[in-house]
Every structure is written in C-alpha cells, then in structure tokens.
C-alpha cells in the first residue's frame, strides 16, 4: 500500500512531485510515461519522484515479515545479547548497501521521534548514518534533541560526509548540538586544552547523558572513511591494523575478540571514553561485505544494544564462529 502527503509545504514543485509520484507508484506508469503525461523530460520526472520520496510524500507499507531475516535477527540477538536487531532484505548488489541500510535506519529514527517522549539522541557520523538522514522523511518535533558524539571537522568541507547532525536538525526542526572539533587532536595535550573550552565541554557533557547513541561502525582498512576524509592519516591506520584493530565504534578501535586496541591515536580522540559508552543504549547501523569483520569485532566487545544490518551481512556474521 502506498500513501501520499504529510501536510508539509505545498509549493508548485511539491505539488508536481506528488502528482508524478502518484502516477508512478499508484498508477503503475514508468518514469518515461510519467514524463510524457506531465510534459516533462525523463530526467525532470525522475528528479520529481526522487523529491517526493525524500520529502516524505511517499509512504510504503508492507504487511508481513521476511522469515529468513527474522531467524537471523533472533540468532544475532541471542548470540550477542542484543535488545534490538533488524535485518533488512538485500536489494543492493554493492559491497556497501547504503540504500537498504539508510531506509531501515531512517525508519528506526522516525519511530524514536514519533514515540513522543522527551529524549536526547547522540549521533555519530559516516556514510551510513548520512544515508539514514537522507531517507528520513521531513518531520517536526519539539521533544527530541540531537547531539554529536564525537568531533567531525575536516580540512575540506566538501570531504565531510559526516555533517549528519546539521542534516538532522534541518529535517526535524529539532535542537542540535555540534561538536566543533576534529575527531582526533594533534596531541594528547591539545585534546585536554580543547576539552577545557566551555562550549566544547558542555557538548561533551550532553553527549554523556544521551538516552540513545546512534552510530555507524568503521573498518581499519586503508580505504576506510576516516582515512578518505582526512580525519586519520594512512600511517596511523596502518599502526592500528598492526596492533590488531579491525573495527571502529565512536572513535575506538577493537580487535577480532572485541578487545580495545591501544594506539597513538587512542589518547587523542575527541570522543566519549570507552567507560562513557559502556552499558549504554547504543544502536549501530552497518553492513556490507567490507564491514563484516568490523561489525563482528564490535559485537564481540558487547558494546551494542541494537544492530540494524542487511541480510547478506547478517548471514556472514551468523556463519562466523563466536570468540570465547
């Protein structure tokens, strides 16, 4: 079943997007047929249908559960002590199934917002979380606040896919508190100085008190997002790998057994400490072939209360032998 409309702005562009989406989803017309019907180019019709999705004008309801996914959810929850696990069916062929994960993560966030309870949600960064916000329908809330869980400044703004907190504020109209520092300070002394600044220390205090920590999981590979965005140097990542690091959660690296990896970057991270994130409600969104080892390392460390992942990744995790 497909529903349309959410009471948001009804400018001409939005009206046209709604009409295009209706013809495509409810009427069963191809995008080319929609373009012909509305007197548009195929590219314009495609953009309007995409806009309708992004603006929350299209809602798809599917009754029923995918039994194979439910079995994987149950097994991962049992094995790693998760309170919440969602495994979404695969429809991406890519190594990193951003669309499937983005839609599932967006739906999770939407449910948290619609609970109507006052809450402070801490947010990490990365491509997967950015996808979650991209698929989050525009909504309005005065009960939810968002706060950055770690520094995210990069030298090049265009290279920063981690501007998740700003996008969340834009999509929801909620208050959002940014961590205006890099992810890693140059030295441990610099970290101490930065954390001593009033505005920064106040945001860190908020992050420590967040009701939910919504995070991605990174790898320790040369192609890792942290390296690509300049947040961490290639040589530093190689050191992390040499010390056994395979997975990263909120600025902390872990080995295959889920044990923390001590490196020269550990004491420079402008992020919550491992003690700060222990026994917290952390829900991670992560998946893809390149992330299996990283996700498993974080699961082994028992830091997560919830995991949203794709079917292929979940199956690989279940087939892996648990440590200990």
Residue 147 lies in a domain: yes
Q: How many alpha carbons fall within 13 Å on the CB side of residue 305?
A: 12
Residue 222 lies in a domain: yes
Task: Note the Cα 42 to chain centre separation in Å.
Answer: 31
Q: Residues 169, 214: one domain?
A: yes
- pLDDT tens column, 258-287: 999 988 888 888 899 999 999 899 999 999
Q: Residues 149, 190: one domain?
A: yes
Q: What confidence score (pLDDT) does residue 221 get?
A: 76
DSSP 156-201: -GGG-TTTHHHHHHHHH--EEE---SBSB-SSHHHHHHHHTSHHHH
Number of other CB atoms surrounding residue 113 within 10 Å: 22
Cα–Cα distances (Å) from 19 to 55, 56, 264, in that order, read 13, 14, 56
Q: Residues 127, 240: one domain?
A: yes
Q: Residues 49, 163: one domain?
A: no
Query: CB of 132 within 8 A of CB of 324?
Result: no
pTM equals 0.80
Q: Residues 138, 192: one domain?
A: yes
Q: Residues 245, 207: one domain?
A: yes
β-pairing verdict for 306-310 and 282-285: parallel
Q: Which distant-in-sequence residues (6+ apart) come within 8 Å of 176 by Cβ?
A: 145, 146, 147, 165, 166, 168, 169
Q: How many domains does the chain have?
A: 2
Q: Say yes or no to pLDDT of 324 above 80.
A: no
Residues 309, 295: Cα–Cα separation, whole Å:
10
Query: How open is the CA angle 49-53-57, to the nearest 5 degrees?
Result: 100
Residue 212 lies in a domain: yes
Residue 324 lies in a domain: no
Q: Residues 152, 264: one domain?
A: yes
Q: Residues 48, 124: one domain?
A: no
Q: Residues 7, 133: one domain?
A: no
Residue 18 lies in a domain: yes
Q: Residues 141, 166: one domain?
A: yes
| Domain coverage including residue 28 | 2-60
β-pairing verdict for 282-285 and 212-215: parallel
Residues 245, 226: Cα–Cα separation, whole Å:
14
Residue 172 lies in a domain: yes
Residues 134, 126: Cα–Cα separation, whole Å:
12
User: Domain boundary at 44, 60, 76, which?
Assistant: 60
Q: Residues 161, 271: one domain?
A: yes
pLDDT over 70, % of the chain? 87
Residue 226 lies in a domain: yes
Number of other CB atoms surrounding residue 164 within 10 Å: 27
Lowest mean pLDDT among 48-57, 98-107, 169-178, 223-232: 223-232
Task: Give the residues across from 150 on adjacent strands.
Answer: 271
Task: Give the residues across from 218 on adjacent strands.
Answer: 248
pLDDT over 90, % of the chain? 48
CATH number (domain holding residue 312): 3.40.50.1360
First and final C-alpha spacing in the chain: 46
CATH number (domain holding residue 14): 1.10.10.10
User: Domain boundary at 24, 44, 60, which?
Assistant: 60
Q: Say yes or no to pLDDT of 3 above 60.
A: no
User: Domain boundary at 60, 83, 110, which?
Assistant: 60
3-state secondary structure of 308: strand
Mean pLDDT for the chain overall: 85
Higher pLDDT, 31 or 162: 31
Q: Residues 8, 75: one domain?
A: no
- pLDDT tens column, 213-233: 999 999 877 666 776 666 777
Query: CB of 122 within 8 A of CB of 214?
Result: yes
Q: Which two tokens mark 81?
A: 């002590």
Rounded to 5 degrees, φ, ψ at 131 are -65, -40
Query: How open is the CA angle 276-201-210, to the nearest 5 degrees?
Result: 45
């Amino acid at each position: 079943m497909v529903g349309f409309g959410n009471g948001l702005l009804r400018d001409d562009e939005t009206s046209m997007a709604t009409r295009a989406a209706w013809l495509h989803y409810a009427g069963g017309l191809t995008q080319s047929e929609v373009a012909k019907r509305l007197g548009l180019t195929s590219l314009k019709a495609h953009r309007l249908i995409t806009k309708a999705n992004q603006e929350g004008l299209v809602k798809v309801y599917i009754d029923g559960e995918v039994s194979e996914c439910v079995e994987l959810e149950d097994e991962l929850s049992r094995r790693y002590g998760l309170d919440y696990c969602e495994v979404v069916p695969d429809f991406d062929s890519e190594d990193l199934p951003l669309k499937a994960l983005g839609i599932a993560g967006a739906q999770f966030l939407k449910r948290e917002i619609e609970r109507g309870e006052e809450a402070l949600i801490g947010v990490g960064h990365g491509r997967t979380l950015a996808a979650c916000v991209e698929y989050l329908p525009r909504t309005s809330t005065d009960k939810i606040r968002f706060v950055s869980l770690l520094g995210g400044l990069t030298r090049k703004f265009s290279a920063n896919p981690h501007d998740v907190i700003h996008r969340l504020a834009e999509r929801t109209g909620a208050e959002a508190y940014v961590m205006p520092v890099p992810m890693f300070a140059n030295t441990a002394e610099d970290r101490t100085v930065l954390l001593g600044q009033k505005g920064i220390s106040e945001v860190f205090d908020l992050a420590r008190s967040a009701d939910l920590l919504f995070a991605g999981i990174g790898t320790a590979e040369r192609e890792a997002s942290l390296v690509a965005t300049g947040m961490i140097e290639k040589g530093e990542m190689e050191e992390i790998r040499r010390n056994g690091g395979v997975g990263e959660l909120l600025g902390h690296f872990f080995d295959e057994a889920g044990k923390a990896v001590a490196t020269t970057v550990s004491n420079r991270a402008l992020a919550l400490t491992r003690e700060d994130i222990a026994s917290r409600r952390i829900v991670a969104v992560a998946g893809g072939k390149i992330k299996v080892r990283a996700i498993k390392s974080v699961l082994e460390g028992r830091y997560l209360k919830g995991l949203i992942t794709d079917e292929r990744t979940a199956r690989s995790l279940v087939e892996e032998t648990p440590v200990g």
